[in-house]
A and B are shown apart, each in its own frame.
Chain A
């Protein structure tokens, strides 16, 4: 079965540079979530999109922006990178079905290292 695809899997950037992380949800999934997991930390919710509209927002810095495109893939844009942005970034997708359990399926993550 198809899974959530994230690219790139690893990314190394310098401070103050920009980075773009991409997420391709499972086919027919209409919702995407982004989580950030710092070293030794639990995943923290950043932002989510449903049907190409932002549906919820968590502790996402103003330097970060994201969107979901017409083909439902999503991109997380990170500017003015800081050392503290080094983390594993997960994307998860789900399909909304009213009245039913809608499981989130996680991608393998993108490991971002800021030097």
Chain B
């Protein structure tokens, strides 16, 4: 079974600064997806960024980028130019690459990192 570990229960950053959230995972699979989800106080789950394991290039979405180290099984999220609206719980998640319809698509989440953005 796959496991996802987020070792930072809480992080804080000053507005406009950069912060990096850490995530490690364990799997015996060679192909998979990794995600960062944001959960603001509204509790809505919002997909921030995804990374496909077979792609060596790190994913980037505007101010959000990842550092994917497949051999080290590490997947960190960097938020640049932090904004007050970035304050939320961030979950790292793992998903297998299914070869058949609808199976093995479940997401396995880490425990989350609560990010505070200070004005």
Partner of B101, one of A88, A96, A103: A96
- Interface residue range, chain B: 20 to 34
Determine if A50 and B106 form an interchain contact, defined as CB atoms under 8 angstroms apart.
no
B45, A43: Cβ atoms under 8 Å?
yes
Determine whether B41 belongs to the interface, using a CB cutoff of 8 Å to chain A. no
Say what secondary structure dominates the interface of chain B. loop
**Residue numbers in B under 8 Å from A49 (CB-CB):** 102
Nearest to B42 among chain A residues (CB) is: A108
Binding site for B on A (CB under 8 A): 30-31, 33, 35, 37, 41-45, 48-51, 55-56, 58, 88, 90, 92, 94, 96, 98, 101-104, 106, 108-109, 111
Overall SS of chain A's interface: strand
Closest 3 CB pairs of A and B: A50-B102, A42-B109, A106-B45
B107 touches A55 (CB 8 A): no
Whether, in the assembled complex, B108 has its beta carbon less than 8 Å from a beta carbon of chain A, the answer is yes
**Is the CB–CB distance between B105 and A51 below 8 Å?**
no
CA distance A42 to B106 in the complex (A): 14
**Given A43-B91, A96-B101, A109-B43, A48-B111 contact (CB < 8 Å):** no
Q: Which residue of the partner chain A has the closest CB to B104?
A: A56
- CA A52 – CA B107 in complex, angstroms? 20
